[in-house]
Amino acid sequence: MSFQFDLEATSGQARAATFSTPHGPIRTPCFMPVGTHGALKAMTPAQVAETGAQVVLANTYHLAQKPGEGLVEKLGGLHAFMQWPGPILTDSGGFQVFSLPGVEIADKGVRFKNEHTGDIMDMTPESSIEIQNRLGADIIMAFDECTPYPASRKLAATGVRRTLAWMERCMKAHGRPDDQALFAIVQGSVYPELRAQCAEGLAALDCPGYAIGGVSVGEGHELLCQVTESTAPLLPAQKPRYLMGVGLPEDLIACVGYGVDLFDCVIPTRYARSATVFTSRGRLRLTHRRYRRDAYPIDVSCDCYACKDGAFSRAYLHHLFAANEVLSAILCSIHNVHFYESLMAQARQAILEDRYADFAGEFAEAYGQAETAQSSAPTR
Amino acid sequence: MSFQFDLEATSGQARAATFSTPHGPIRTPCFMPVGTHGALKAMTPAQVAETGAQVVLANTYHLAQKPGEGLVEKLGGLHAFMQWPGPILTDSGGFQVFSLPGVEIADKGVRFKNEHTGDIMDMTPESSIEIQNRLGADIIMAFDECTPYPASRKLAATGVRRTLAWMERCMKAHGRPDDQALFAIVQGSVYPELRAQCAEGLAALDCPGYAIGGVSVGEGHELLCQVTESTAPLLPAQKPRYLMGVGLPEDLIACVGYGVDLFDCVIPTRYARSATVFTSRGRLRLTHRRYRRDAYPIDVSCDCYACKDGAFSRAYLHHLFAANEVLSAILCSIHNVHFYESLMAQARQAILEDRYADFAGEFAEAYGQAETAQSSAPTR
């Protein structure tokens, strides 16, 4: 059996587990950094691995457009193509397609216009899974209908109906169940009974993993927490749980507490490029003039390449941003991804020692002390 | 004595030596990659060191503008600021100032308009050296008059006269001769008797090193070779010789053969960003469609991070350029700088074994075999 989920400890609802994949184990809770085009922005795979990242995400929609799943397959699949030896997860492509202008959604699938060629194209549960089979990630995602926010109950109910029907089609189309785990996705917007109906229907299909989708679409921290808190316990306890597109450090800490195992988000790398870095005492915006002469590293308690032994000063990073040097993005991306991975490693340790609530409280207290940088970067 | 130049072997005019500096030895012949703003473009210092680079260059003009030499000094000098523990060289800032629109050159110095503030500013031999003293590089450069190309004999003669007079002022102004080696620069354009006059005048000053300047300004490979071949032998044999702003691999191989020890150039990093990479069989332009499906690494015989064990395919790099992923620049910069460093290491070995002419011939034969990519990137 290529995939196995071993629950090692719980602390309240929080869980520590190991999810085995054909490209190695994933210790949870775990944050997966995003490499949209098959590359993390501004980092080599070696630098990504050094942050402690265990698994990376790549986007099916973007890779299908360029360079095409056929070429990736010919070159040995995503692992060889992007030189990431560990586990990889691909999304279904649906999230990107649903946000295209003029997209048409029907029970059969989705029709949209190719951004590059202008061609009319269709994406269906079958075609999404076929593309993901050819890309070759360890974890692949169901083609679901991602309900926007806000959405009427009617729209959300249609999304749940389609998501359930499409999941069965995805499973039927899946050609590599032995070496690719197909995760189901729970939709239902902010309506608890729809979430419950979707979770129940999907749980009956005995999938190797379950995701909570339709979040991080503008609903905010409070609603995100409500949806996650009520949905996570409805998912099978013996399967990994993945909260899609989430989020800020405070979101992760809250949602680990609700029983989520896996997260992905562009925030650490995207914020890094716009000079916002995370520290144990909150966020800093390095382009602020207060850092122009600051001899300290980003975080004195951090041991990433950018911080360890007090290496690169905030003043140097401030200068690199002012000079438009790409090394600014490189160093801040390394730091931010390391921060997320280190946060999840600490959360895991706290769960193993059954003191997760204390850990979450200590994190919140320390994290609230710094400058709260006003960042305009979107969360997804 | 902080600086010492030990000539270890010669092969024809080519030299292998070790130049000792306060931040470690430099084995020559040696190529110095350029970190204009105190950072190599798209590479961390750790990645730069991994290429085999021993010494890096930073630009006084740019650093004086941003963040200012005072701040760099306050933060511990350039080595601490940019986290480069090895030797560093700064130029005088003259090359950049002379190319500004509306610059006024007089015997006293140069008057120009600050690009950022619009303020009228002066740069003199004294102010250039003071800035370089505060930046704190191991090797600092004389403030010379860099003659453009083409130039009349009269203009070139004025340049030589000023360069000689300014060198004496630079030496007088130099406040840290024990831990910063001030190199003189030979001007004289393409006129052998002016080059000879300048070299003779500077040689009498017994400087710790000598540079050939006023090259790589559009004169082309042939004239560059003529100037270097006739000028290098006029420089003191017991001092390092540095050919400024040069060049392409074929330029380096030719000029090592004329007795040059040190080179610097933006070509490897600049070409990398525009997808041109160097191999033992010539240049490749990775954006060309012929590489779209090419499973080979840039150079099968290369052991840089991008190539070793056949790691990243040309097809993947082609994709990264198409997707505007900065990882393309990172990987190609690592490869190109490694190529230059490896070429110089091979040249050194050939000199130590007294077979430099054979090595140069073998290089030229192999290097001429590949696609000759048409690159529009300027050489400086």
Give per-residue pLDDT as tens, A285-302: 999 999 999 999 999 999
Whole-complex ipTM:
0.96
What is the least distance, in Å, from the CA of B251 to any CA of chain A? 28
- CA A171 – CA A201 distance, rounded (Å): 14
What is the least distance, in Å, from the CA of B254 to any CA of chain A? 33
Measured between beta carbons, the chain A residues lying within 8 angstroms of B67 are 292, 315, 318-319, 322
Give per-residue pLDDT as tens, B131-176: 999 999 999 999 999 999 999 999 999 999 999 999 999 999 999 9
The type of residue at A81 is F
Measured between beta carbons, the chain B residues lying within 8 angstroms of A62 are 323
The type of residue at B136 is G
**CATH architecture of residue range(s) B4-265:** Alpha-Beta Barrel (3.20)
| Residues contacting A94, CB < 8 A, separation 6+ | A110, A123, A128, A143, A144, A145, A146
What is the least distance, in Å, from the CA of A49 to any CA of chain B? 14
Measured between beta carbons, the chain A residues lying within 8 angstroms of B312 are 83
DSSP code at position B146? -
Given a cut of 90, whether residue A116 has pLDDT beyond it is no
- Integer Rg of chain A from CA: 20
> Measured between CB atoms, which of B43, B75, B305 is closest to A315?
B75
- CA B334 – CA B347 distance, rounded (Å): 20
- CA B47 – CA B44 distance, rounded (Å): 5
- CA B236 – CA B211 distance, rounded (Å): 11
pLDDT at A1: 58
Strand ranges for chain B from DSSP E:
4-11, 14-21, 24-28, 30-33, 56-58, 88-90, 104-105, 110-113, 120-123, 139-141, 181-186, 210-212, 241-243, 262-265, 276-279, 282-285
How many contacts does A have with B, using Cβ atoms within 8 A?
100
If you search the block for the tokens 């692992």, which residue do you land on? A79
pLDDT at B368: 85
B271 touches chain A (CB under 8 A): no
- Closest chain A CA to residue B296: A75
Q: Show the DSSP H helices in chain A as ranges.
A: 45-50, 60-65, 69-74, 78-82, 94-98, 125-135, 153-173, 192-203, 220-231, 249-256, 267-273, 314-322, 327-352, 356-367
B46 touches chain A (CB under 8 A): yes
Disruptive mutation site among A273, A320, A327, A331 for chain B (greatest number of B CBs within 10 Å)? A327
Which sequence spans correspond to the domains of chain A? Answer: 4-265, 272-364
If you search the block for the tokens 């040689």, which residue do you land on? B203
Q: Each residue of A86-95: b (16+ CB within 10 Å) or e?
A: bbbbbbbbbb
Measured between beta carbons, the chain A residues lying within 8 angstroms of B319 are 37-38, 66-67
Determine phi and psi for B89, rounding to 5 degrees: -120, 135
Given a cut of 60, whether residue A372 has pLDDT beyond it is no
DSSP code at position B310? G
pLDDT at A369: 64
The pTM (predicted TM-score) of the whole model is 0.96
CB contact under 8 A, A325 and B67: no
- Closest chain B CA to residue A68: B319
Give me the percent of chain B exceeding a pLDDT of 90: 93
Measured between beta carbons, the chain A residues lying within 8 angstroms of B323 are 37, 39, 62, 66
pLDDT at A380: 42
Give per-residue pLDDT as tens, B179-208: 999 999 999 999 999 999 999 999 999 999
> Measured between CB atoms, which of B62, B75, B311 is closest to A295?
B75
Disruptive mutation site among B266, B330, B334 for chain A (greatest number of A CBs within 10 Å)? B330
pLDDT at B333: 98
- Closest chain B CA to residue A81: B316
- CA B190 – CA B227 distance, rounded (Å): 6
* Contact present, B198 and B163 (Cβ < 8 Å): yes
Question: Which of A65-79, A94-108, B55-69 is predicted with the least confidence, judged by mean pLDDT?
Answer: A94-108
Select from A233, A94, A226, A260 the least CA-distant residue to A170.
A94
Per-residue confidence at A311, pLDDT binned at 50, 70, 90? confident
pLDDT at B369: 64
Give per-residue pLDDT as tens, A33-85: 999 999 999 999 999 999 999 999 999 999 999 999 999 999 999 999 999 99
Select from A159, A289, A270, A262 the least CA-distant residue to A208.
A262
Catalytic annotation, pick one of A6, A91, A119, A299:
A91
> Measured between CB atoms, which of B46, B67, B326 is closest to A305?
B46
B267 touches chain A (CB under 8 A): no
* Contact present, B24 and B32 (Cβ < 8 Å): no
A108 touches chain B (CB under 8 A): no
Mean pLDDT of the B61-77 span:
97
CB contact under 8 A, A82 and B316: yes
Disruptive mutation site among A71, A326, A338 for chain B (greatest number of B CBs within 10 Å)? A326
Give per-residue pLDDT as tens, A148-198: 999 999 999 999 999 999 999 999 999 999 999 999 999 999 999 999 999
Given a cut of 60, whether residue A378 has pLDDT beyond it is no
Supply A263's token pair: 């997260």
What is the least distance, in Å, from the CA of A81 to any CA of chain B? 6
If you search the block for the tokens 């080599």, which residue do you land on? A44
What is the least distance, in Å, from the CA of B75 to any CA of chain A? 7
